[in-house]
Amino acid sequence: MNLQPLTSSPPSLSSSSETPTNSLNHPSLPFDLIEEILCRLPMKHLIQLRCVCKSWNSLISNDSKFSKKHLFMSTSNHDRLHLNIFCMNSSSELLQFDFSISSIFTSASTTVQSPPFTWRRDYDLEVSTCDGILCVGINRCLPFLYNPSIKKSKTLPPFKTTTTTEHRAMDTLYTLVYHGVTNKYKIIALTLYLNNKSEVNVHTLGTVYWRKIDDFPCHNLAWIGPGIFVSGTVNWLVYDTRSSSMVIVSLDLKKESYQKLLKPLGSCVSFGALRGCLSVVSDSDKFSDVWIMKEYGNENSWTKLLRIPHMRDFGFIGYKRALYISEDNQVLMEFISLGSKFSLVIYDSINNTFKIPTIQNNNHGEMASLEVYVESLISPFF
């Protein structure tokens, strides 16, 4: 048996098909094992490793199965979650800030860049996210898809809304979803009309058309929040003036049918998703409660996770929504402060303390949108 000296170099990660003939003392790993190693690495390393060789570049950049595998590994790793902030600075320039969630709870480091689209202060900007892709809707215009991890973007094809005076579109909210049955990504567009009617259209990425999903069960909507994608459904929290009540309208993507779900008791100020469940923040005079629906569709499974007292400083007016809850029940909240500005605070439920994260010092402009996303290799081009 020939034993290599202890001073020899470590084994190479290059595949056997690309091992140079003069590197017999540097055994290579099977490519399937290399794939298992690479799919566990964070995006910042994968981006750099694309230049190692052609097979690695092809795997990381173009292999959809590898992208899905990497995404699966990332969703269970809290260090792969990021907070994306679109912010208008004092010069009316839109900037994009990106923070890892873990750094927000410690000492935040960030990257700042100009996003691949333009935005005016008087325009509405709505953002949804799915599998690391941001779906940006700007003032009822076409949605814009953008994966900040790989810096790829795409504008979707238009769909027609009725433009008569009696039936004119007032607003359109876009939600990006993944349809597990068809293995396709879709955009769900809910359009509100001035005549109190509502309409849902769906676009499957990779096609060039939109189609309508009829029978939206609520009209005369006085208030509506963005669509939330959970458990193969899109959910909207709406206030129906006909029934004078706030209700959750759910669209089952497989059946393309609607149902109504009851929310927890109390005055709801926000609607979202936490820990893979629907979540609601309800408000009272002195505190706010964070609820999640542990079993989707089961209205009896609404569970109160946290009670957060109202702050007495930081110009606090009220909480807007819960963005993230850590494993030790520290919650990142967005709140409204004096001057109608949106700010961030971390509430430690164990010690009953508040902390303003250092990212507040990294931008002094007006926050236009905040969204938590998972880093991924998924491309908006399908």
pLDDT in tens, 198-221: 889 999 998 888 899 988 887 777
Spell 197-221 as b/e; 16+ CB within 10 A means b. bbbbbbbbbeeeebeebeebebbeb
| Residue 96 confidence class, pLDDT cut points 50, 70, 90 | confident
Could you tell me the strand order of the sheet in which 184-193 lies?
163-164, 167-179, 184-193, 198-204, 211-213
Model confidence at 15: pLDDT above 60: no
User: What would the pLDDT profile of 327-351 be if each residue is shown by its tens digit?
Assistant: 888 999 998 887 656 688 999 989 9
Confidence (pLDDT) at 168? 64
Which one has a higher pLDDT value, 354 or 155? 354
Answer positive or negative: Cα dihedral of 199, 204, 205, 209. Answer: negative
Which pLDDT score is estimated for 247? 85
- Mean pLDDT along residues 270-285: 90
pLDDT of residue 141: 61
**Residue ranges covered by each domain of the chain:** 265-356
Taking residues 301-310, report their average pLDDT.
93
Which value, in Å, is the radius of gyration of the alpha carbons in the chain?
23
pLDDT of residue 158: 73
* DSSP per-residue string spanning 9-63: PPPP-SBGGG--TT-TTSPPBPHHHHHHHHTTS-HHHHHHHTTS-HHHHHHHHH-
Under 8 Å between Cβ of 232 and 254: yes
Distance of CA 295 to the CA centre of its chain: 21
What is this structure's pTM? 0.83
Task: Report the pLDDT value the prediction gives residue 232, as an integer from 0 to 100.
Answer: 93
- How crowded is the C-beta side of 279, counted as CA atoms within 13 Å? 21
How high is the pLDDT of residue 176?
Answer: 94
Strand 81-88 to 94-100 pairing: antiparallel
CB 186 within 8 A of CB 253: yes
pLDDT tens-digit readout, 242-254: 777 788 899 999 9
Residues 218 and 243: their CA atoms lie apart, in Å, by 10
At which residue do the structure tokens 């607003």 appear?
Answer: 171
